[in-house]
Amino acid sequence: MTDIAAANRKCLRRLQASTAMLVGLRPAREVVPGLDAGRVVLHAGPPVAWERMCGPMRGAVIGAALFEGWAKTPDDVMAMAAAGELTFDPCHHHRAVGPMAGIITPSMAVYVVRNEAFASEAYATINMGLGKVLRMGAYDDSVLERLRWMNGDLAARLDAALGRAGGVDVKSLISQALAMGDEVHNRARAATSLLVRQLAPHVAATAGAAGERALAFMGAGDSFFLNIGMAACKVALDAAHGVAGATMLTAMARNGTEFGIRVSGTGDRWFTAPAPKVQGLYFAGYGPDDANPDIGDSAITETAGLGAFAMAAAPAIVQFVGGSPKLAFDTTLEMYEITLGEHETFKIPALDFRGTPVGIDVRKVVETGLVPVIDTGIAHKQAGVGQIGAGLSAAPMDCFIQALEAVAAGRQA
Amino acid sequence: MKPTASRLLAGPPRVISLGIETFAETLADLGVAVTHVAWRPPANADPALAALLGRLEAQRETIERANREALTRLTEGEPVLVDCRPAREALDLPDRTVLHAGPPLDWAGACAPMRAAVLCAIRYEGWAANDDAAARLVADGAVRLAPCHDWGAVGPMTGMVTATMPVFVVENRAYGNRAHATINEGLGKVLRFGANDDSVLARLRWLMQEAGPLLGAALRASGGIPLRPLMAQAVRMGDEMHQRNVAASALLARALMPHLARAGGKHGAVARVAEFIGANDQFFLNLAMAAGKALADPALGVSPSTLVVTMARNGTDFGVRVAGLGARWFTAPVLTPVGLYFPGYGPDDANPDLGDSAIVETIGLGAVAMAASPAVARFVGAGGVAAALAATAEMREICAGEHPHFRIPMLDERGTPVGIDVRRVIETGITPLINTGIAGRVAGTGQVGAGVVRAPLACFEQALAALAVTEDA
């Protein structure tokens, strides 16, 4: 019989040993497995059929299909989806992750993040910024124009810049950002600034004055880095996935309808429960009645020891998600109760450089009754409105109970 | 009611101990509950200083009113980075003048890094072909030395500014004044640490010919970059902006890069400048200093305020200027920092402290904001989180207020201590703490470490005496 402790140690060791080099930006059809043919639409979270998709995810599917030129009008897209002419699949099944709706289609450019320790890769699209954005389900002409520019001109310039730079060490950049008040989920201001600073000379050298829009776009919002950080987390957790007997989580993801987790030792199976509501602060004019249930693959950051797990590194975040700085410290301290170890690279100055809690153990979650906390944005339940707030959500305990049962059943078999 | 003495004997004693800890310790050893109050007689029990404090006490209300005004000026200014141009244009700085850090410098008593930097700056300007000729020009008075502070500028470490060097221009839009600082040269062999070889000269020429003009064009096109919100943001990101400027430098780069891309005709030049900025985590230091001077200058001359508006070191002396006492310097021999050394160096290699950079402590950043930056506490060898919190807490004892804009998330958004009050320094005996780089004492060495240093108490004693005299007048 497999020794669970040894399996978990192996799992955590693989996560800790993983590297994350951002090496380029390529069209998804060229690099993402399974996107080279057909009308494939990848989405956030565990599998979900068109009929059960929430508003923001449907809106994002419409925008992506219009961008791809598969249909001329939103109605046509909806008819195609209902007729089964679009193939839906989770990003997670394709070594990819996407924030909020998380839509990836073949013509979109994706970052290529390479884990050199395990010769694997992970992918994520370019973050679109704030306001009307595809990931929140917006699909008007301004969104389509930006999609065309981002996936054309911007992607080509960034790919050339990354080539000239010889890649960017994302793991090291995240560890610096943690010392600068980011938790790299809802706050990526430092990481974004450090990335811009690092890439700017290469953008200037390869694009000249035409790099102005690229540089302005990268620096305009604080979340430009988020997607890259997510890909870095994915590529590390994929390396830890599939260790027989291990009870460590390798994914937490939401599709706006359901919350799903995957466990290293139980393969590619999802354990799901209805997606929770987010508790947080709303932008002016919005309230809890407008909120969509929790959505997005971005909880991959918490799974890798960032986000709410690293909240003590980012006490300023409570102004955004609600609560007091003490909440930030308490959240991190509580997450040590359900994790297998402390991150060797991601450290928190305010805790005297203690590593962030990392490696969520299904057994510890069920035993303590403490569920993972996730630091997240709140999307409007209607397609196209966009982000209306930010807050904290709690992973549903039911996912963990199912996972524990599956682990136990696997051991009896 | 029973007589007092017998009541005392009726129950166990409840003891409060003041001052010397021995009494409390002895009682505690005997198992007696005791509350100890750390108390020292004011001004280290110096009767002369206590008398001076007493004289100022008579004017308390007038002084407090002036201090409130000075504190408002220190904290409510709006520094905006508007330009980068040669010192000759920005400061009207004539040829054959070398500006240096700190209070006025006696050339004969100048430390080795300062001498090396002055002579190198003269060679850079082409006023002399070698150090010997340059030294003669200074000795003969053919090249004039003056403090940066007297020319609307501030300089880190040796603080060299000469006519052709490009300087950043920071405009305080709330009060209409301007302050200036050179472009930070980066790490390693740099003029500000007294390095003086050909690599130093080559970098200075590149800054003059390519980086300065390009930065100037980008900044003019940008319409100005507001620095106070950027600095407030950087405090929230773990910078104290003296020995740690990584967040501020990255935020500035992010704001500046699109303008740089637009301003640059030649791709190569933009890329070189962008690379130079991106490679230096201390790039923002000089801007924090220029912003500091732009913020502090409007408070100079608010009478009879007892708040410190300048702290600066020239490698020999430490100088302080006080809001209510105008441009007058109060100086004392500067101390040598205590800290961590780069591999191969130790305390014997350290020069006494130098640079105008203590302006950042004057405006509520640097060591006084250590709690915002546990990472810097490590870098300067001041210990961990607890030590960082203690440093900021100690500085609150000598400061008049809390910064309304520079707030520390970890302290529940409490503002950094700001407005060092000469009276409180004397009363408590606590001198301002400064985070600083350590220059090698041998000319040409460069930086050998980083650490903390205290301002010498004697500066504040002199300032207190001057304040008391002014009050009597």
Summarised one tens digit per residue, pLDDT across range B84-131 is 999 999 999 999 999 999 999 999 999 999 999 999 999 999 999 999
Residues B426-471: pLDDT tens digits? Answer: 999 999 999 999 999 998 888 899 999 999 999 999 999 999 987 6
B278/A contact by beta carbon, under 8 A: yes
Q: How many CA atoms lie within 13 A of B14 on its CB side?
A: 3
Cβ distance of A325 and B375 shorter than 8 Å:
no
Cα nearest neighbour of B265 on chain A: A209
Chain A positions in Cβ-Cβ contact with residue B407 (cut-off 8 Å): none
Q: Which of B249, B268, B278 sits opposite A200 (nearest CB)?
A: B278
Chain B positions in Cβ-Cβ contact with residue A208 (cut-off 8 Å): 261, 264, 267, 270
The position carrying tokens 């800054």 is B207
CA distance to partner chain B, nearest, from residue A190 (Å)? 6
Residues B34-66: pLDDT tens digits? Answer: 988 888 888 888 999 999 999 999 999 999 999
**pLDDT band with cut points at 50, 70 and 90 for residue B2:** low
Instruction: Say if residues A214 and A202 touch (Cβ distance below 8 Å).
Output: no
Q: Which of A193, A203, A352 sits opposite B385 (nearest CB)?
A: A352
Rounded to 5 degrees, what are φ and ψ at B201? Answer: -65, -40
ipTM passes above 0.95: no
A172/B contact by beta carbon, under 8 A: no
Cβ distance of B249 and A216 shorter than 8 Å:
no
Provide the pLDDT for residue B217.
Answer: 95
Provide the pLDDT for residue B266.
Answer: 67
Residues A190-220: pLDDT tens digits? Answer: 999 999 999 999 998 888 777 888 899 898 8
In sequence order, the 6+-apart residues with CB closer than 8 A to the CB of A219 are A192, A193, A196, B254, B255, B257, B258
**pLDDT band with cut points at 50, 70 and 90 for residue B389:** very high
Instruction: Say if residues B439 and B157 touch (Cβ distance below 8 Å).
Output: yes
Measure CA A373 to chain center: 15
% chain B with pLDDT above 70: 97
Instruction: Say if residues B39 and B45 touch (Cβ distance below 8 Å).
Output: no
A197/B contact by beta carbon, under 8 A: yes
**pLDDT band with cut points at 50, 70 and 90 for residue B350:** very high
Residues B167-204: pLDDT tens digits? Answer: 999 999 999 999 999 999 998 889 999 888 999 999 99
Cβ distance of A193 and B254 shorter than 8 Å:
yes
Pairing of strands A109-115, A21-27: antiparallel
| Both structure tokens of A98 | 């996407």
CA gap B318, A275 in Å, rounded? 63
Residues B229-252: pLDDT tens digits? Answer: 999 999 999 999 999 999 999 999
Cβ distance of B278 and A190 shorter than 8 Å:
no
In sequence order, the 6+-apart residues with CB closer than 8 A to the CB of B167 are B84, B85, B86, B87, B90, B91, B153, B161, B180, B181, B182, B183
Chain B positions in Cβ-Cβ contact with residue A182 (cut-off 8 Å): 237
Provide the pLDDT for residue A384.
Answer: 80
SS3 assignment, position B192: helix
A contact residues 71-90, partner B, Cβ 8 Å cutoff: none
Task: Identify which has the larger pLDDT, B271 or A23.
Answer: A23
Nearest residue to B121 (alpha-carbon basis) of B194, B61, B41, B206: B194
Examine the pLDDT at B1 and tell me if it is beyond 60: no
- B178: number of Cβ within 10 Å: 21
A179/B contact by beta carbon, under 8 A: yes
Q: Which of A189, A198, A212 sits opposite B258 (nearest CB)?
A: A212
Examine the pLDDT at B265 and tell me if it is beyond 70: no
Provide the pLDDT for residue A258.
Answer: 96
What SS3 string covers B205-250? HHHHHHHHHHHHHHHHHHCCEEHHHHHHHHHCCCCCCCCCCHHHHH
Provide the pLDDT for residue B22.
Answer: 87
CA gap A275, B35 in Å, rounded? 54
Average pLDDT value over all residues in chain A: 94
**pLDDT band with cut points at 50, 70 and 90 for residue B472:** low
Instruction: Say if residues A100 and A63 touch (Cβ distance below 8 Å).
Output: no
Provide the pLDDT for residue A330.
Answer: 95
CA gap A182, A346 in Å, rounded? 11
One-letter amino acid identity for A108? M
SS3 assignment, position B26: helix
Q: What is the mean pLDDT of residues B257-264?
A: 89
